[in-house]
Chains A and B, each alone.
Chain A
Amino acid sequence: MSLGTGALSAKGGLEGWGQTVVYSMVFIFVAGMVLAPILFLFVNSFQMAPPGQSAKWGLGAWNVALGNSDIWLAMWNSIRLYLATSVFSWPIAIMLAWIIGRTDIPGKRTIEFLLWLSFFLPSLTVVMGWITMIDPTTGILNQMLRKLPFIGGTSGPLNIYTFWGLVWVHLGQNAIAVKTILLIPAFRNLDAAMEEASRLSGAGVFRTLRCVVIPLMGPPIIITALLGFVRLWQSFETELVLGVPQGFYIYGTKLYDLINAEVPEYGQATVLAVVVIGMTLPFMVLQQRYSVNRNYETITGRARANPTGLGRERTPLFICVLAIEILVSILPVIAVTTATFMKVFGYFQIENPWTLDHWTRVLKDPVFLHAIRNTLIIGGGSAVVGVVVSLLVAYILVRSKFILRAQLDVMTWLPHALPGTLMGLGMLWMVLTFLKPLYGSITLLVIVTVMSGITVGVQIIKSNLIQLGTELEEASRLHGASWLYTMWRVVIPALAPVLILIATLKFVSASRDVSTVILLASGDSMTLSLLQLDYMVAPYWESATVVAVVMTLISTGVALAARAFDIRLGPR
């Protein structure tokens, strides 16, 4: 490749200097926000002074960390928690995706809507919902169960503060919902003739599912599994609330624990971070490969949307699905909402147990009002910046001949595999080293939430850009429009529904994020989810439930608004 006009662009032609400059700026921004923190982590794992103090180099941190059996135990806990959750979530997710994507089950829209709702529920809300129900002493469900003659006692029988309690809560949070949502399109796009041919060969509905549909869904299932697997280190706030009190640490909470100790163990935390980056990279590469070499063979343009008739099983299955969904997403919200109106949570027997005090107290609290403002700014900022960055990156990856686009692609995959706490830690090192004024600012939180979720946005826009084809843009250019004008008048309008979807996802994930921002926020940039955690630790349990309900309202409200807007924009 020779250097000449448009040095960094190989094609020349439609790509001029202006674009190359834009592309390079995007590249530098992404590299600065993704690669730099990781590099800081790596370099600093060899230095033994805390961030911001004069450096002292050595392998000390490595020796201590590798000899610390607690660290290894925490990592093993992450893995077994992930495996236990997967054993239950996969069969359920595959069945749900099949039922929604391919059968004539009644109330499909309701089922899918509830699924999305559970996807948008803040994880801490679900955690609190289940605590209100199955806390060993105060849990409503436990109180009711104890009334049964053969149980009795003063605590139990169910206990959320256990390994299986954690598994249960994870199933209710996103373990099932995300897999199902990712699998539904694949199930939907399957050529119905594949199933019909099996039926006409003499196989029944469930034999067809087992012998034809699920094997054909192999590639999307593997992709979804890898997608989930690289995120096994991500888990954080659920274990912070439910695991730490019982002395059960996973990777994320251990990392946080090391930094949050009386004498912060930055060295060990950094080593722990570097180890996980090393372990995750191969899977990340594998997943990227798989997603790129996707097999589209079973997806034909002529596919009919002809649902499989469930016959007599139709109604029982519908009730079953609805029950699962209500259990995982509606029930916790009801429980937590009830809790906000109770004088002392869990004590129904006292005279007049209901009150509005918690709401009036929290809504008057200046800290709460400040946190709500911060959360909206971070959510909104992350949505806007996130869409712009994702669009630019995806455009570069799909359309340009920018010579560093392969590297850019890898960089946008990295945050997907990096646990939020780790991103936060890397960013913390970087900021404390040479961007000190940014420390504790809302700008920093916007940047870090944008980058931590960049992968999904870029991937979604990428696939839509590929489908869009180049003719629309080429036609615009040939009719005299500039690149910028083409972007504005052709590309962005064509992608509008997708961009709205991404903005929604970014808003919701940024506004409820805990793991990424927890190390970077200060009192001044406190968000609602962090305030909620503070209340829970304090313990102002009732105030925390109010925050949980407010956060749920914000998340689901934005999701509903986006949905309405999306529908108005018509079919994709």
Chain B
Amino acid sequence: MEMSQGNQGTQSELPAARIQGVSKYYGSVCAVDTVNFEVASGELLTLLGPSGCGKTTIMRSIAGLEKISAGKIWLKDRVVSSAVERVHVAPEKRDVGMVFQSYAIWPHMTVFENVAYPLRCRRVEKQETRKRVQEGLALVEMESFEDRPATMLIGVQQQRVALARSIVMQPSVLLLDEPLCNLDAKLRSQMRVHIKDLQRKTGLTMIYVTHDQVEAMALSDRIIVMNKGKIEQVGAPEEVYERPRSEFVADFVGAINFFPGKVVETGARDGIIRVSTGNEVLACLLDGLRSPALGDHVLLMIRPEKLSIDDGTGRIAAMLHEPGAPLNTLGATVSSNIYCGDHCELGFEGRDFALKAVAPSAVSPMIGAAVRLAFSARDLHLLPVGAGATITAVGS
């Protein structure tokens, strides 16, 4: 399994958390299926996936809120969960912080009391507690709310208090369970910046759970994409986006066009192969991971923003041209055009398939107009058609 390094982590340092062969069953239902990964110290790792994919279960297992059915979990050098050895360290003894989706701010306490709670549980002396609570609240810009009853806070303030509460004890790992999903779009983007900032300032190791790919892209050092209890792909955000390794990842992370094809020419120079989609033949630059054989059925993928409308002047072609990566062009008709303010979403129908693309709103072709679409061979990716691929290949 490929493992890219976190920003701050170095190879020699002990990982902050190690998850090895972890499975979780609820009765006969498998929520998490033999998951392996490590979290480098100081890294912000995101578990990304649709609801029910097992990401929250993994996080809760790390926190000790769920008992795992198989596998082992380390925090630093300590085994905290092990199914075989029947080890299950109680949540309060794990030194793990967590921000809950519902924030879980105790309504019968003030902001100060909420944040001081973990310190009081650790018998930190009064003076020190006060100092650290104030520092914690300052980090989340809530220092003036100390004496406010928790019920008098609005959502985003509760969120900040929950953050402060989970970092005052300087946990070895901070877990965040979809912390932004109850906020509106604008606050969410503010809080994203805030959390990223906080991580830089504190150097805390964070595991972040979300189903929002934009959030995952913006925050993470690394992303783990999960589906049906299994890890689909691990990698840096741009890696996951640009080089998805399964149909699921490609589809879940951002918008994408899929269409089937059949390899008609291999072995050309520089890793270029040619794929027939029936009436068209497209050039595809291999990313080095796969080398399909002649005659293989494959699934082709291209992101909407990588498609350009060729206005026939050759300008676009010149812009896209790069050495070693030929340009593909296709004839198509505009089938839909949805205006979205700063851009428009276009639908096209070609001879073999339908495509969606995004373009600046200034480029706004009429529905029914015949255009040519251009894209670099570097941006066209392929997956072998195997189990899980739902698209039937053409020409069969």
Give A contacts to B, CB under 8 Å. Answer: 191, 193-194, 196-204, 207, 211-212, 215-216, 218, 297-298, 300, 302, 306, 309, 311
A565 to B352, alpha carbons, bound, how many Å?
A: 60
Select which of B95, B100, B118 is within 8 A of A196 by beta carbon: B100
A194 to B90, alpha carbons, bound, how many Å?
A: 16
Select which of A203, A218, A309 is within 8 A of B108 by beta carbon: A218
User: Is the Cβ of B101 less than 8 Å from the Cβ of A302?
Assistant: yes
User: Is the Cβ of B96 less than 8 Å from the Cβ of A200?
Assistant: yes
For B51-72 the 0/1 string (1 means CB < 8 A from A) is 0000000000001110100000
Q: Mind listing 24 A-B residue pairs with CB under 8 Å?
A: A191-B102, A193-B101, A193-B102, A193-B104, A194-B106, A196-B63, A196-B104, A197-B106, A198-B106, A199-B64, A200-B65, A200-B94, A201-B92, A201-B118, A201-B121, A202-B92, A202-B93, A202-B122, A203-B117, A211-B117, A212-B106, A215-B106, A297-B107, A298-B107
Select which of B67, B97, B101, B151 is within 8 A of A200 by beta carbon: B97
Q: Which residues of A contact B108 (CB under 8 A)?
A: 215-216, 218
Give chain B nearest CB distance to A190 CB in angstroms.
Answer: 11
By CB atoms of chain B within 10 A, which of A196, A201, A204, A207 has the most? A201
User: Is the Cβ of A200 less than 8 Å from the Cβ of B102?
Assistant: no
By CB atoms of chain B within 10 A, which of A191, A193, A202, A298 has the most? A202
Q: Quick check: is B169 within 8 A (CB to CB) of the other chain?
A: yes
Give chain A nearest CB distance to B105 CB in angstroms.
Answer: 8
Task: Given A196-B65, A309-B90, output 8 extra A-B contacts at Cβ < 8 Å.
Answer: A193-B104, A196-B98, A198-B117, A199-B90, A202-B92, A216-B106, A216-B107, A297-B107
User: Is the Cβ of B91 less than 8 Å from the Cβ of A199?
Assistant: yes
User: Is the Cβ of B107 less than 8 Å from the Cβ of A200?
Assistant: no
User: Is the Cβ of A197 less than 8 Å from the Cβ of B107?
Assistant: no
A196 to B165, alpha carbons, bound, how many Å?
A: 13
A297 to B118, alpha carbons, bound, how many Å?
A: 23
Give chain A nearest CB distance to B36 CB in angstroms.
Answer: 24
Q: Which residues of B contact A218 (CB under 8 A)?
A: 108
User: Is the Cβ of A306 less than 8 Å from the Cβ of B102?
Assistant: no
User: Is the Cβ of B118 less than 8 Å from the Cβ of A202?
Assistant: yes
A544 to B82, alpha carbons, bound, how many Å?
A: 61
User: Is the Cβ of A203 less than 8 Å from the Cβ of B92?
Assistant: yes
Given contacts A193-B100, A302-B102, contact A202 B65 (CB under 8 A): no
Top 4 nearest A-B pairs (CB, nearest first) are A202-B121, A201-B118, A193-B104, A197-B104
A495 to B101, alpha carbons, bound, how many Å?
A: 33
Select which of A191, A194, A207, A298 is within 8 A of B121 by beta carbon: A207
The binding surface of chain A is classed by DSSP as helix
A198, closest chain B residue (CB): B117
Given contacts A194-B106, A216-B108, contact A200 B90 (CB under 8 A): no
Select which of A191, A201, A297, A298 is within 8 A of B117 by beta carbon: A201
B150, closest chain A residue (CB): A297
A153 to B107, alpha carbons, bound, how many Å?
A: 58
Give chain B nearest CB distance to A103 CB in angstroms.
Answer: 14
Give chain A nearest CB distance to B392 CB in angstroms.
Answer: 40
A460 to B29, alpha carbons, bound, how many Å?
A: 36
User: Is the Cβ of B107 less than 8 Å from the Cβ of A199?
Assistant: no
B67, closest chain A residue (CB): A309
Given contacts A193-B100, A297-B151, A302-B101, contact A200 B106 (CB under 8 A): no
Give chain B nearest CB distance to A200 CB in angstroms.
Answer: 5
A203 to B119, alpha carbons, bound, how many Å?
A: 10
A195, closest chain B residue (CB): B104
User: Is the Cβ of A199 less than 8 Å from the Cβ of B65?
Assistant: yes
Give chain A nearest CB distance to B184 CB in angstroms.
Answer: 18
User: Is the Cβ of B118 less than 8 Å from the Cβ of A194?
Assistant: no
Q: Which residues of B contact A297 (CB under 8 A)?
A: 107, 151
Q: Which residues of A contact B122 (CB under 8 A)?
A: 202
User: Is the Cβ of B92 less than 8 Å from the Cβ of A311?
Assistant: no
Give chain A nearest CB distance to B97 CB in angstroms.
Answer: 6
Given contacts A193-B101, A202-B121, contact A306 B65 (CB under 8 A): yes
Given contacts A194-B106, A196-B91, contact A202 B169 (CB under 8 A): yes
Q: Which residues of A contact B91 (CB under 8 A)?
A: 196, 199-200
Q: Which residues of A contact B97 (CB under 8 A)?
A: 200
User: Is the Cβ of A197 less than 8 Å from the Cβ of B92?
Assistant: no
A199 to B96, alpha carbons, bound, how many Å?
A: 10
Give chain B nearest CB distance to A203 CB in angstroms.
Answer: 5
Q: Which residues of A contact B65 (CB under 8 A)?
A: 196, 199-200, 306
For B353-384 the 0/1 string (1 means CB < 8 A from A) is 00000000000000000000000000000000
User: Is the Cβ of B169 less than 8 Å from the Cβ of A191?
Assistant: no
B56, closest chain A residue (CB): A304
User: Is the Cβ of A200 less than 8 Å from the Cβ of B117?
Assistant: no
A309 to B89, alpha carbons, bound, how many Å?
A: 12
Give chain A nearest CB distance to B180 CB in angstroms.
Answer: 15
User: Is the Cβ of A300 less than 8 Å from the Cβ of B106?
Assistant: no
Q: Which residues of A contact B67 (CB under 8 A)?
A: 309
Q: Which residues of B contact A197 (CB under 8 A)?
A: 98, 100, 104, 106, 162, 165
By CB atoms of chain B within 10 A, which of A191, A197, A215, A298 has the most? A197
Q: Which residues of A contact B102 (CB under 8 A)?
A: 191, 193, 300, 302
Give chain A nearest CB distance to B204 CB in angstroms.
Answer: 14
List CB contacts (< 8 Å) of B27-65 with chain A. Answer: 63-65
Give chain A nearest CB distance to B207 CB in angstroms.
Answer: 13
Q: Which residues of A contact B166 (CB under 8 A)?
A: 200
Q: Which residues of B contact A198 (CB under 8 A)?
A: 106, 117
User: Is the Cβ of A201 less than 8 Å from the Cβ of B165?
Assistant: yes
Q: Which residues of A contact B63 (CB under 8 A)?
A: 196, 200
For B323-336 the 0/1 string (1 means CB < 8 A from A) is 00000000000000
A311 to B92, alpha carbons, bound, how many Å?
A: 13
A111 to B3, alpha carbons, bound, how many Å?
A: 51
Q: Which residues of B contact A194 (CB under 8 A)?
A: 104, 106
Q: Which residues of B contact A191 (CB under 8 A)?
A: 102, 104
Q: Which residues of A contact B93 (CB under 8 A)?
A: 202
B182, closest chain A residue (CB): A302
A216 to B105, alpha carbons, bound, how many Å?
A: 11
Q: Which residues of A contact B101 (CB under 8 A)?
A: 193, 302
Give chain B nearest CB distance to A536 CB in angstroms.
Answer: 49
A249 to B106, alpha carbons, bound, how many Å?
A: 46
Give chain A nearest CB distance to B123 CB in angstroms.
Answer: 10
Q: Which residues of B contact A207 (CB under 8 A)?
A: 121
B123, closest chain A residue (CB): A202
A199 to B97, alpha carbons, bound, how many Å?
A: 10
Given contacts A193-B100, A199-B65, A297-B151, contact A311 B106 (CB under 8 A): no
Give chain A nearest CB distance to B5 CB in angstroms.
Answer: 28
A297 to B150, alpha carbons, bound, how many Å?
A: 11
Q: Which residues of B contact A298 (CB under 8 A)?
A: 107
A199, closest chain B residue (CB): B91
Q: Which residues of B contact A306 (CB under 8 A)?
A: 65
A196 to B105, alpha carbons, bound, how many Å?
A: 11
Q: Which residues of A contact B107 (CB under 8 A)?
A: 216, 297-298
Give chain B nearest CB distance to A297 CB in angstroms.
Answer: 6
Q: Which residues of B contact A204 (CB under 8 A)?
A: 90, 92
Give chain A nearest CB distance to B165 CB in angstroms.
Answer: 7
A445 to B92, alpha carbons, bound, how many Å?
A: 58
Q: Which residues of B contact A200 (CB under 8 A)?
A: 63, 65, 91-92, 94, 96-98, 166
A496 to B96, alpha carbons, bound, how many Å?
A: 47
